Structure 1
Amino acid sequence: MLERRVFEPAGMTQSCLAFDTTGTLQSLPTIEPVWLRGHEISRFPSLSCDWAGGGVLTTAEDLQRFNRFFWSEGVSAAHRAKMMQPCHRFHRGLWYGLGMMELRLGEFSWFLRNLPRCYGHIGVLGTHLLRSCHRLLDRAQRG
């Protein structure tokens, strides 16, 4: 489903779901090492426990393709607005909705309270993709 509804329309040619139903680790694309306490864990099947949050192996280029796809023609404005509505507090300053996180920077520290909220997602291995709608609205108003 990801292939047909996200990867192909977005032009993401270097992405796949981690340990997808092939049942073999040999079919995985080359990925960077992930080190945890001196052990390389990039091919541990336990990393797939995060499939609920995506679990996608991707490149920086494909992540940018997804970003353009999501914020332009790929997702309708109504559906995008619904996804961006935070419902659950994940952690102080991090709110979670329908597959989308909202960063409320002011909840991290009082001196960040005037910064705009950012939307996107934070990956389990430290890959983050966030966007500030405030900047987008400001840019649109200026023309």
Structure 2
Amino acid sequence: MTLNGDLQRLIDTECAKANTHNVILRIESGNGQVRFKGSAGAAGPEAPFAIASISKMFTATLILQLADEGLIDLNQTVQSLLSTVDLSALHVVKGVDYGPSLSVRQLIHQTSGLADYYASNLSADLKQNIDRSFDLHDVLQMTRALPPQAAPDSGRSYYSDTNYQLLGAVIEAVTSQTFDQALQSRICEPLGLRETAVLNDDAGLPIYYKSQSLNVPRTLASMGPDGGILSTMDDLLTFLRAFIQGQLFNPENAAQIRQWNRLFFPFQYGYGVMRIKLPRWMTLFRATPELIGHSGASGSFAFHAPGPDIYLIGTFNQTDAPQRPISFMLKALRIIERHGISKH
């Protein structure tokens, strides 16, 4: 069977599993030798979909652009940039109020230790199809009601969507644009991304929790900078290439973007980007490719495997198995390897 035939069979096999309603996959190698776009189930490969936390890569890019232009300093406190927002009592650890002193760098690197507002009843409500809009005030209120994860700079990253909601507010304050306007003018228009925007009434492909279709467009749109962008596989491929190749910000930023911190297994975290490298004991002592990019709670993924120089993008649109793309991407890379496709 051809490479594309084997990749399509992989998608079909995944889509036949329980609680799987659609799968889409886009793969391309840096040298163009591999080009695949496929789908299975109730989805076409051109369909727009909610990219969930892949949105954080776009938000991080905007922050790095503002830093490049001298409009912000990554070590600057968020409070100094958000003069109309009170961050006091947002992040109290052992009696110390860290809220007003949190820096932009701590937010983008997920080292603030802030509670994750999504871990409030919002997550449970979403799975029960309860749709509601919320803004930054609501996000801070939800965050204050949760216990902090850690004090800032505690030696690792602690995943928190609150960090990226605050970064979205910074972008709006500094640019005097809405987050979507900044996204369009600074990323989408320069790259020619015509199908990428903050969600509105159109949530793209249906997202499921097990067998239940979730109709929560207001919730998804409110996630904005932390998880509320709609895009397509083609647009994401263009963006991911530009991000990995340092086309959207000063190439000198590439090194600090890849300051990997331990997150939660098997992920490490940089500046708005994840790294996956499975230990050999998990793979019968067979080396697995390094993956750099981001995934989302809906089973969305956009990663680059630098070893073979392969880009992998797609989604399961399924919220009950967010780590499922990891094994799926590794299976796809093994198929490509078996077909003898080389980097050069």
Name the TM-score, length of structure 1 as normaliser: 0.73
Deviation digits for residues 4-38 of structure 1 (CA, Å, limit 9, x no counterpart): 2211112111011234xxxxx3xx3x611112244
- Do 1:18 and 1:48's aligned partners in 2 also have CA atoms closer than 8 Å? yes
SS at match of 1:105: coil
State the superposition RMSD in angstroms. Answer: 2.7
Please report how far the alpha carbon of residue 119 of structure 1 lies from its aligned counterpart in structure 2 after TM superposition. Answer: 0.5
SS at match of 1:77: coil
1:124 corresponds to: 297
- Do 1:53 and 1:99's aligned partners in 2 also have CA atoms closer than 8 Å? no
1:16 paired residue among 191, 197, 203:
197
Q: What one-letter code is carried by the residue in structure 2 that aligns with 1:15?
A: T
Name the TM-score, length of structure 2 as normaliser: 0.34
2:269 corresponds to: 96
SS at match of 2:188: helix
Deviation digits for residues 17-64 of structure 1 (CA, Å, limit 9, x no counterpart): 234xxxxx3xx3x61111224432253433356545443110111111
Compared CA separation, residues 131 and 112, structure 1 to 2 (3 A): farther
Q: What one-letter code is carried by the residue in structure 1 that aligns with 2:261?
A: C
Query: 5 Å matches for 1:45-84?
Result: 45-48=218-221, 50-72=223-245, 73-84=247-258
| Unpaired runs of at least 5, structure 2 | 1-181, 310-341
Please report how far the alpha carbon of residue 92 of structure 1 lies from its aligned counterpart in structure 2 after TM superposition. Answer: 1.0
Higher deviation after alignment, 55-64 or 100-109: 100-109
SS at match of 1:40: strand
Please report how far the alpha carbon of residue 113 of structure 1 lies from its aligned counterpart in structure 2 after TM superposition. Answer: 6.0
Q: What percentage of residue pairs aligned between the two structures are identical?
A: 22
| Unpaired runs of at least 5, structure 1 | 20-24
1:85 corresponds to: 259
Please report how far the alpha carbon of residue 131 of structure 1 lies from its aligned counterpart in structure 2 after TM superposition. Answer: 0.9
- Do 1:93 and 1:105's aligned partners in 2 also have CA atoms closer than 8 Å? yes
Q: What one-letter code is carried by the residue in structure 2 that aligns with 1:4?
A: S
Deviating above 6 A after TM superposition, structure 1's stretches of 4 or more consecutive aligned residues are none
Aligned residues: 130
SS at match of 2:216: coil
Q: Tell me how far apart the structure 1 counterparts of residues 292 and 299 of structure 2 sit (CA, whole Å).
A: 16
Q: What one-letter code is carried by the residue in structure 2 that aligns with 1:40?
A: S
Highest CA radius of gyration, 1 or 2? 2
